[in-house]
Amino acid sequence: MNDEQYRALQSLKTAKGQVEATIRMIEEGRYCVDVSNQILATQSLLKKADLLIIRQHLNHCVTESFNKENGNEKIDEIITLLSKVIGK
């Protein structure tokens, strides 16, 4: 596991804890704005983890593919992925 993967895993574990806390907040009838803020914090961690995984892919998989002269396939993968990330 490289550094990007480790940091992404840590973000995902933290997000998991935040989701569990958010569920408890709803079950306890907590204030809606507080619940929404918790959801936003969780989304932020998920985005951070996603960017770390994409960075890892670019730094390792894509670089390796260009060294093996099949980098165009990886570029297409990244474009497809980014279109999902930006919602296009």
DSSP annotation of 29: T
pLDDT greater at residue 12 or residue 77: 12
pLDDT tens sequence across 16-38: 999 999 999 999 999 999 999 99
Domain 3-85 fold: Methane Monooxygenase Hydroxylase; Chain G, domain 1 (1.20.58)
pLDDT > 80? residue 72: yes
Give the Å distances, CA to CA, from 68 to 55, 60, 62, 71, 79: 19, 12, 10, 7, 20
What confidence score (pLDDT) does residue 70 get?
Answer: 79
88 pLDDT band, cuts 50/70/90, is low
d(CA 73, CA 46): 26
What confidence score (pLDDT) does residue 84 get?
Answer: 87
Q: What is the mean pLDDT of residues 65-79?
A: 84
pLDDT tens sequence across 35-64: 999 999 999 999 999 999 999 988 888 888
56 within 8 A of 5, measured Cβ to Cβ: yes
What confidence score (pLDDT) does residue 33 get?
Answer: 97
Domain ranges of the chain: 3-85
23 within 8 A of 39, measured Cβ to Cβ: no
